[in-house]
Chain A
Amino acid sequence: MCLRGLDRGSGFDGGRELTASFDGGRGLTASLDGAKEPFDTGYISRETERNLRGIIVEKSKLKNSLSRRITMLLLILMAIMAVIVGFISYKSLRNTYINLYSEKAQDMTKFLAGQIDGDLLPKYVETRQEDEYYRYLKRLFDHAKQSITGIQYLYLYYPEEDQFIYIVEGMKEGDDPANIADLTWEPYKYGETEKKHLLPDVHAKRASTEVILGPDVGYGETVAAWAPVLDSEGNLVAMVEADCIMADLNKVIRRQASFILGFQILFILISALAIIYMLRRVVVSPVTYLTNLVDSYEHGELMEDLSKFKYDDEVRSLALSFQDMTARIETYIRDLTIVTAEKERIGAELNVATQIQADMLPRIFPPFPDRNEFQLYATMNPAKEVGGDFYDYFLIDEDHLVLVMADVSGKGVPAALFMVIAKTLLKNRAQMGNFTGPGQILMDVNNQLCEGNEAELFVTVWMGILTISSGHLVSASAGHEYPAYFRGESFGLEKERHGPPLATMEGLRFRETETDLKPGQSLFLYTDGVTEATSADVELFGEKRLTDSLSAHATDDVTDLLKHVREDIDSFVGDAPQFDDITMLCLKYLGEET
């Protein structure tokens, strides 16, 4: 089927023709003659359109494209509708025709029955002889059949209980005379149809119309009407019957129904084409255009101006939502870039901080190359980038060496800053001209640290002052781990008097412990990162393992001793993460002689 020359009306651009074709199983296709581009929505410029063509072709090849699905759905719905409407029109036409012919046939039989003189009829049944009146009847019936179309049989007969006897039958042009009954014909034996429909009316002497279906009739579906002819005394003397065979009529009805159906299909196709065209123009094309815009956004461009979506509809609303979204994404990316840059800057600064902190701890060994009275080595491994542990050692005069081991509570930058303050205060206080013991130093530094310590950090400190010439060691502890001493056989912790950590409370006093180091004896200082190094089984390294490890390497050089202890800790911890800073310091006293 092909439609051409359909005017597209005011809703279309005009000036071009819409051509549509339906090609078998492949579905409905439509194209615009005279348009160079297959796609013109009025939404977009020619240039953009050309750029989009590739994409549009691609999108229109989508397996389940919107327009194809809606088209198919529409066609199926309309086909079902056409079948239903066709069926209804056929039924309705048929009823109309049957009613029409029933009325016609009945009027005809009633009229003819009224025209006949009933008193003259019985003699024809008895004598079977024609006369003047019989010929009048014949003319009457012929004339009647001739004037009324659609009636196949029109005849007069005398009904008995099981048969009827023909009296006369009308004939029109084209009828075969051999088929027209007259007085010479044999009586007609009733079939089931006559017994059922005709006899009751014969007994009741009434006129009737029946639509008779069934094989008895011999010529299929029939509309039959009959009317009684009575004599002057009211006796039934004959019946006039008119038969209309529906077979011919059905042909007419079917032809008309087909015409209606055909017209409907035409209407459906035109509607479908119009709907598909509108669908493409209003929905599919804008959506495809929007898809392209969103696709192009992936390449980092902001969505362009959306004025091309000129109708305030759902598609435009979607486009606006996309536009809002891209704006939000842009803002988000900008924010993220700033935050990331900030994070990188902080990271870089933390690295510098780590470096500064590392630089604050004395790391040149041997520390006093011209002093032979002792060996000293220390290490610090922070758990995070910057840690809170620190050690320190310095000479306050030719004969006095100060040793410091400390651990700030907490981790990270706050602990590191606090560590810097604590370390500086301790060293400054120790190096002040008037010589004082470590207890006095800790007391003074504690009071200074307590001032404005809003973060409530504190620091455990062990501080010892060694008189190099004699090996006399005075120490004080602000809540720090007990130091381990090597007195000749093995390392052991020596418990001493303790005060609370620095910066906990103002006015704390710290008692001093005095001991003497003999040549060959060692002192080992550490933080809780050593004893509390945790294995994968959540077991602590502990003091026992520490002193065992120290004792095993007691005769080593101090540098090797710390390396070995560190190795023992590492093998104990295994793959478990390091939670705390690990800081160690070892002093081996050699005395004046060496």
Chain B
Amino acid sequence: MTINKNADGDKLTIALEGRLDTTTAPELEKDLKTSLEPVKDLVFDLKDLQYISSAGLRVLLSAQKVMNKQGSMVIRNASEDIKEIFDVTGFVDILTIE
């Protein structure tokens, strides 16, 4: 998995590529721990994300909880497969998916 970050003031766009699963989720989690501090507007671009597991969902959930306190978070460009996973797992009710 590759993580591409693009910061613009207090807006941060994170583009994920590949698989976000048990093996790669800790990498994203560690990354977010340091980079979310000044962010008010967080965007996840999932255009190139092929798969997300429950471990990946957990990282997104953690980010959502942080952003609930300091700003907003949206998920963009999720593929049908990924949307299906959000749907099945009920994450559609928690995350803002555009």
Q: Mark A450-462, 1 if CB is under 8 A from B, else 0.
A: 0000001110100
Which of B22, B61, B62 contacts A580, CB < 8 Å? B22
User: A62-70, A92-100, A262-270, A475-483: which lies at the B interface?
Assistant: A475-483
Flag if A410 contacts B61 (CB, 8 Å): no
CB < 8 Å A-B pair total: 65
A477: B residues at CB distance < 8 A: 90
Flag if B61 contacts A504 (CB, 8 Å): yes
Residue of B nearest to A407 (CB): B54
Flag if A482 contacts B88 (CB, 8 Å): yes
Q: Is A194 an interface residue (CB 8 A)?
A: no
Q: Is A588 an interface residue (CB 8 A)?
A: no
Q: Mark A498-523, 1 if CB is under 8 A from B, else 0.
A: 11110011001000000000000000
Interface residues of A in 276-291 (CB under 8 A from B): none
| CB proximity of B26 to chain A, nearest CB, Å | 10
Which of B54, B88, B90, B93 contacts A409, CB < 8 Å? B54
A478: B residues at CB distance < 8 A: 90
Flag if A481 contacts B88 (CB, 8 Å): yes
Flag if A499 contacts B54 (CB, 8 Å): no
Residue of B nearest to A383 (CB): B22
Most buried by A among B22, B54, B92: B54
Flag if B88 contacts A579 (CB, 8 Å): no
Given A456-B65, A579-B22, does the pair A528, B90 have CB atoms closer than 8 Å? no
Flag if A409 contacts B21 (CB, 8 Å): no
| Interface of B: prevailing SS | helix
Chain A, interface size: which category? 20 to 34
Given A481-B88, A580-B22, does the pair A457, B58 have CB atoms closer than 8 Å? yes
Q: Mark B43-82, 1 if CB is under 8 A from A, else 0.
A: 0000000010111011001100100000000000000000
Most buried by B among A460, A478, A479, A580: A479
Flag if A498 contacts B22 (CB, 8 Å): no
* New A-B contacts (4) at CB < 8 Å, excluding given A409-B57, A528-B54: A409-B54, A409-B55, A501-B57, A580-B53
A-B residue pairs, 7 tightest by C-beta: A479-B90, A479-B89, A500-B90, A409-B54, A498-B90, A409-B58, A499-B90
Q: List 18 A-B contacts (CB under 8 A).
A: A409-B54, A409-B55, A409-B58, A410-B22, A411-B22, A456-B62, A457-B58, A458-B57, A477-B90, A479-B89, A498-B93, A500-B94, A504-B94, A505-B94, A528-B53, A532-B53, A540-B51, A580-B22
